[in-house]
Amino acid sequence: MAGASVPVQQSATQPAGVQGQHIAQLWNLSLVVCGVVFALVLLATLVALIRNPDRDGQGPPMRAPDLASLTQPEVRTRRLVIGVSMLSVIVLVGLIVADVLTDRALSMLPVDKPVRIEMVGAQWWWQVSYPAGAGQPGFVTANELHVPVGRPVIVSLQASDVIHSFWVPSLHGKKDMLPGIDTTIEFRADREGVYRGQCAEFCGAEHALMAMLVVADPPERYAAWVAQQSQPAARTTDTVALHGRDTFERASCGNCHTVRGTGASGTNGPDLTHLMSRRTIAAGVLTNTPQNLAAWIRNPDAQKPGTTMPAVPLSEPDRLAVVRWLATLQ
């Protein structure tokens, strides 16, 4: 598979898109400002300790208490306290302004000629739909989004069960996915690469194993991917694989999974039409190899405890035939 060896990136401090960049800038600013304030507070504490008259621990030097300070205003101290308080307010207001400006910059992404994608978060995987448009039939895939570099992307977000959250740190901040309520997130990838995302709202046992990939490709490679995903499943003449396909349709697999061009049209699980074009299975838990597919189908719960895919009883040869067929779904 082309580009499969590209390293996967997940870093809010090394942004790959214009919005990730705005967020990284805000983070850098906050880090520097808060770092400087922290250093100044430490410095002031140090100065106070050094000027402590009881530095040697022998008790304060015997001196008559300075009662004058009770009646005379401490002008210098008062000025200092007022000055530093005002400085704190100015610094905090400055950070608020930076925050608001960042928020505005995030919402002002130009979205002409966007790529539209619909995502549904489910326990614990992501359904990804590319609606039909511009002479292109729509198609459904899972756990892996492809986007063209330099073009805005509008992703509408939904959840089928509990609240999930879409978060690809290299590209943008987080956006909640809510059952029954549509939200959208808009972003643009400006650098080619593979960016890992992670569900960012606790959603049950396998929340931590609910990852996704965003593959940002040059426009031609993206177009080739779209053309390929729009096709129905590849046909095979391999008799073992054909037996695998029959087994898949006969066993309950097809009740939950769609493979376009076959009798399998379930929607409870990921669309498997082009399964082998994906880098991982089970939302980033396993790399997508025939061995891992066999292990997954034998006992999904052993790979991802709590997963909603059941272990379907199959004889060993039947299961291997199913894997052989799945491996043809390029």
Q: Which does 257 bind (CB under 5 to 8 A by kind): ligand HEC, Cu ion, none?
A: ligand HEC
DSSP, res 181: B
- Between 175 and 207, whose beta carbon lies closer to ligand HEC? 207
- Between 20 and 284, whose beta carbon lies closer to Cu ion? 284
Spatial separation of the C-alpha atoms in residues 87 and 24, rounded to whole Å: 25
Query: Left (φ > 0), alpha (ψ -120 to 50) or beta: where does 134 sit?
Result: left
Is residue 126 a contact point for ligand HEC (CB under 6 A)? no
Q: Which does 139 bind (CB under 5 to 8 A by kind): ligand HEC, Cu ion, none?
A: none
Is residue 253 a contact point for ligand HEC (CB under 6 A)? yes
Q: Which does 125 bind (CB under 5 to 8 A by kind): Cu ion, ligand HEC, none?
A: ligand HEC
- Of 240, 279, 282, 236, give the one whose Cα is nearest residue 259: 236
Q: Which does 304 bind (CB under 5 to 8 A by kind): Cu ion, ligand HEC, none?
A: ligand HEC
Q: What is the dihedral of CA 322, 127, 289, 320, to 10 degrees?
A: -10
Q: What are the Cα distances from residue 26, in Å, to 21, 22, 200, 255? A: 9, 6, 20, 48
Residue 186, amino acid: E
Provide φ and ψ at 15, rounded to 5°: -65, 150
Cβ-Cβ contacts under 8 Å for 306 (sequence gap 6 or more): 124, 204, 205, 206
- Between 188 and 279, whose beta carbon lies closer to ligand HEC? 279
Q: Choose which of 168, 210, 233, 264 interacts with Cu ion (CB under 5 A).
A: 210
Is residue 164 a contact point for Cu ion (CB under 5 A)? yes
Q: Choose which of 173, 269, 321, 324 interacts with ligand HEC (CB under 6 A).
A: 269
- Between 16 and 203, whose beta carbon lies closer to Cu ion? 203
Residues facing residue 36 across a β-bridge: none
- The count of chain residues that interact with ligand HEC, using the rule CB under 6 A, is 31
Positions touching ligand HEC (CB under 6 A) are 124-125, 142-143, 248, 251-253, 255-257, 268-270, 272, 275, 278, 281-283, 293, 297, 304, 307-310, 312, 314, 322, 326
